[in-house]
């Protein structure tokens, strides 16, 4: 099944989110995928597939440390917040469309958690944010150490506002989610991972989420194998706006195939 989404040196960094003292090789050769797409950006890959893995690396390590808007990639932690707060019960709860016509046709209908994640339905998550409230949102952000932990600025704060997170921190967060190590019920973490599935093969699963602020596009997730996961986080500039969006998935897939983490 498939759903559209998304000179050598050692680059060392320490992430406050729990990914500590990892060294990634600066993969200058991955630059050709950005050049072919005519895109400026960064990608981080943390390969934990065990024997046969070891393809961890980063392209543009300095940018990978820079905090940028998460846009709709924030739907991953936001879903956990909503489940914990009781704003959403499970993947079967229906969120009734308010009848307002929005520019993306798949948004103009009733939604559940799975469709809201798959179609990146902003109005559902704006509803979650209103019901959770800014004060609780801040507490949740601090609880998981998500980026700069800010909800200030324009709304929605994860797209138009001040919330920002780096590609390195995105991978650190995903690693904790994969291992059910976030401070939430295990069943909630498993549910979020379930609704993140966009594609699967006989022995692998791709779990991912894209995002776009209008200026920055991104994609985060991991490819899950019997030998372990290969995590990734990408962000690119999108001066061509919607015309640039397919580049997120194209570059990510090219890099993952290059290292053997995606068929």
Enzyme catalytic residues: 72
CA–CA dist 165, 154 (Å, integer): 17
For the chain, the residue count is 263
């Amino acid at each position: 099944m498939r759903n559209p989404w998304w000179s050598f040196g050692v680059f060392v960094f320490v992430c406050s989110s729990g990914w500590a003292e990892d060294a990634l090789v600066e993969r200058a050769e991955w630059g050709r995928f950005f050049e072919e797409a005519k895109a400026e950006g960064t990608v981080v890959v943390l390969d934990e597939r065990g024997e046969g893995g070891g393809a961890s690396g980063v392209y543009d390590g300095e940018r990978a440390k820079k905090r940028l808007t998460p846009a709709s990639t924030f739907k991953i932690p936001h879903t956990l917040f909503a489940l914990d707060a009781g704003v959403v019960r499970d993947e079967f709860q229906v969120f009734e469309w308010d009848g307002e016509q929005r520019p993306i046709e798949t948004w103009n209908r009733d939604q559940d958690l799975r469709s809201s994640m798959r179609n990146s339905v902003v109005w559902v998550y704006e509803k979650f944010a209103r019901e959770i409230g800014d004060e609780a949102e801040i507490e949740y952000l601090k609880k998981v150490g998500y980026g700069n932990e800010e909800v200030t600025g324009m709304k929605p704060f994860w797209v138009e506002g001040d919330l920002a997170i780096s590609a390195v921190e995105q991978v650190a967060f995903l690693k904790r989610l994969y291992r059910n190590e976030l401070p939430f019920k295990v069943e909630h973490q498993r549910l979020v991972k379930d609704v993140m599935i966009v594609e699967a093969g006989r022995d692998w699963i791709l779990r991912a989420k894209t995002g776009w602020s209008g200026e920055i596009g991104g994609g985060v997730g991991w490819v899950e194998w019997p030998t372990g996961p290969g995590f990734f986080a990408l962000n690119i500039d999108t001066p061509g706006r919607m015309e640039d969006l397919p580049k997120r998935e194209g570059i990510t897939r090219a890099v993952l195939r290059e290292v053997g983490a995606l068929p």
